[in-house]
Chains A and B, each alone.
Chain A
Amino acid sequence: MTDALTTVEPPAAATPRGGGGGTLRYVLSKVGAALISLGLIVVLGFVLFRVLLPGDPVRTLTRGAPVTPEGAAALEREYGFDLPLWGQFTRYLGNLAHGDLDRSLVFKVPVAQKIGERLGPTLLLVGVGTLIAVVLGLWLGTRTAWRRGSRFDRTATGIALALWSAPTFWLGLVLLTATGGLFPSGGITYPDTPPDFLSQALDTAHHMVLPTITLVAVVYAQYQLVMRSSLVEEMHAEHLLTARAKGLRDDEVRRRHAVPNALLPTVTLVFLHLGLVVSGAITVETVFSWPGLGLLTFEALRFPDYPLLQGTFLVLAAAVVVMNLVADLLLRVLDPRVRAS
């Protein structure tokens, strides 16, 4: 949780929206909904950073540094502030269609370029973190559900709840203080690491340890809890009793029937969560100076660099919408109940 201000509602799976129709219709409706959401994000990005933004735009852009009238006029033209609001909106849409997000005030390069540079580290951190969290969460979730009420269950569930309750950035700070010098305190590589692939990869891995642990600690708990509760529910299902009655061993029942079914809501959650993990990376990246999108957002926030903030807002929000779409489509493929409905 933590960075996601809202907890994700896990099983969209449990409430399949009815209404007949084939796969195509399902896909179309999901894609359509995602497109509408993307459209709304685009509009919101404009409203937040163009319409609601207080004060004189040029002054905002130059951060109060003195400019000549010609300089101010040139800036107004570059960012389109000389246009009426509607004109600004169409300009914004047009630029967006070309992947143009204006120029960053701090870095003085196109925002799109800056975001492109920072995407890689975030994907690496979030990818590895999610992978470990998923494996850990599913494994612990299965074990705790199977041995419900045991000491193992109580301990593991307790730890998960406690980690889920702590703020991410605090875990990061405490880790940093506690490990005191065992790991690099920030960044992604040392500048004097030899440029060959192996050395770079190892150096990156070394730098990744603390941020990844922090991210995993916060994320896996939710996967574990959801996996546990859906498995518990699954274990009461009739077909399991049947399976057991057929004389299958407990372990096999778990493997062949319960776990695959319980996996569904958890996998959905993983995808639903992925976008939020990306934005959750803001605090982890800030604490560990990890040069990704989250840190970029924080840097943009400090100045504040409005075009850059707008860009990161659009990208992060769009990522969540796309991940949701993937989750919905994947669900369709995986879950026979949704397929049937």
Chain B
Amino acid sequence: MTAPEPVERTPGPAWARRRAAARRAWGEFTRHRAGVLGLGVLVLVIALAALAPLITDADGVDVTRATGGRLEPPGGRYWLGTDESGRSVLLLVLWGARISLLVGLSATLLSIAIGTVVGILTGHFGGWGSALLMRLTDFFLVLPSLVLAIALSTVIGPGVGTIVLAIGVTSWPSAARLVRAQTLGVEARPYIERSRALGGGHLHVIGKHVLPGVLPLVLVNTTLAVGTAIVAESTLAFLGLGDPVAISWGSMLRSASNSGAVTAGAWWYLVPPGLAIAVVVLAFTLCGRAMESVLNPRLRER
């Protein structure tokens, strides 16, 4: 469990302090070369994904407009060769980033949202209801999530939404436990006592004190979780639980494997999507680790 320094030590509007703290954190962050590198890669990838419709022609990923041959090796015209329908692999990787990142981000947001709510509730309120909720959290924590996700998607049918839901619903417990621990840490501090004594209600305590104290941790956790979610997306898509016409890195690998790219030795079709996943996941992880050590000075020398 990490035990970050609370950003805020005294009650009251402290925007200036927070800004200063953020500036300090940023300064600290830039000292982690790996983290900066990760951030740079992420900014680049997200920008490319967002701009894909502007910088490339959408017709290039439309199979009915494809001009290349089947599984052409890399060459002057197609830098990364073509897929089994004659589309440029480079273009597909670029467009695939959109769905992969979108699914990764929205699944993470869903799981973090559930986790944060559960974590704060159980940390703040206590009592048997909270104990029950924690027991449930522990239960979901140990449940093999891939198996559960498979079970879920057989029940609700394949699709992008299914994948988001399956990842979101199965990966919230670790966030819940982290947030709960953090909430307990924040609430143990004397100023919460003072705030309560001054008549602050639950909403006030949670909104003004707990949430700001918990947010940095949530942010770190989100960053780390996106990578996991992207890999999970590719795994589920590979197993055939995704949208059949949407282009994502996972579905590309599925098509590659289904159409016989392994036999044909079409490495240009197999390697780029997997490499893209690994690079983006690594970038999120490096970023997250750097943020973690900014928050937790004890980790700094690691």
Asked whether any CB of A lies within 8 Å of a CB of B in the complex, the reply is yes
Asked whether A5 and B238 contact (CB < 8 A) given A301-B154, A309-B151, A317-B147, the answer is no
Q: Is the CB of B145 within 8 A of A2?
A: no
Please report whether the interface of chain A is mostly helix, strand, loop or mixed according to DSSP: helix
Chain B min CB distance to A316 (Å): 5
Question: Is A278 in contact with B151, judged by CB distance below 8 angstroms?
Answer: no
Interchain CB contact under 8 A, A174 and B270: yes
A275 to B227, CA, bound (A): 21
The reply to whether the CB of B231 lies closer than 8 angstroms to some CB of chain A is yes
- Give chain A residues whose Cβ lies under 8 Å from the Cβ of B282: 161-162, 165
The answer, yes or no, to whether A194 is at the interface (CB within 8 Å) is no
Residues of B within 8 A of A11 (CB): 1
Contact call B235/A36, Cβ cutoff below 8 A: no
Give the Cβ gap from A213 to chain B, nearest Cβ, in Å. 16
Contact yes or no, A161 B147, CB < 8 A? no
For the complex, is A33 an interface residue (Cβ under 8 Å from B)? yes
B77 within 8 Å of A (CB atoms): no
In the complex, A126→B173 CA distance in Å? 25
Mark contacts of B76-112 with chain A using CB atoms, 8 A cut-off: 1 yes-contact digit, 0 otherwise: 0000000000000000000000000000000000000
CB distance B278 to A165 under 8 Å?
yes
Tell me if B114 is interfacial: C-beta within 8 Å of chain A.
no
A162 touches B151 (CB 8 A): no
Which residue on chain B has the smallest CB distance to residue A305? B154
Interface size class of A (residues with CB under 8 A): 35 or more
- Among the 9-residue stretches A45-53, A97-105, A201-209, the one with 4 or more Cβ atoms under 8 Å from chain B is A45-53
Q: Does A279 contact B (CB under 8 A)?
A: yes
Asked whether A324 and B142 contact (CB < 8 A) given A5-B167, A173-B270, A313-B147, the answer is: yes
Interface residues of B in 120-174 (CB under 8 A from A): 135-136, 138-139, 141-152, 154-155, 167, 170-171, 173-174
- Are the CB atoms of A7 and B285 closer together than 8 Å? no
Asked if A162 contacts B265 (CB within 8 A), the reply is no
Binary B-proximity of A27-42 (CB < 8 A = 1, otherwise 0): 0000001001100110
The answer to whether A7 and B174 touch (CB under 8 A), given A37-B142, A282-B146, A324-B142, is yes
Residue A5 contacts which of B178, B181, B228 (CB distance < 8 angstroms)? Answer: B228
Which residue of B has the minimal Cβ distance to A4? Answer: B145
- The answer to whether B286 touches A161 (Cβ under 8 A) is yes
A54 touching B155 by the CB < 8 A rule? yes
Q: Give residues of chain A (277-299) contacting chain B, Cβ–Cβ below 8 Å.
A: 278-280, 282-283, 286, 297-298
Q: Is the CB of A168 within 8 A of B235?
A: yes
Task: Tell me the chain B residues, 200-238 only, with Cβ under 8 Å from chain A.
Answer: 224, 227-229, 231-232, 234-235, 238
Interface contacts beyond A49-B151, A161-B286: sample of 18 additional A-B pairs, CB < 8 Å, sorted by A: A4-B144, A6-B145, A6-B174, A9-B141, A15-B1, A33-B138, A37-B138, A41-B143, A165-B285, A167-B250, A173-B270, A174-B271, A233-B298, A279-B145, A282-B147, A283-B235, A286-B239, A321-B142
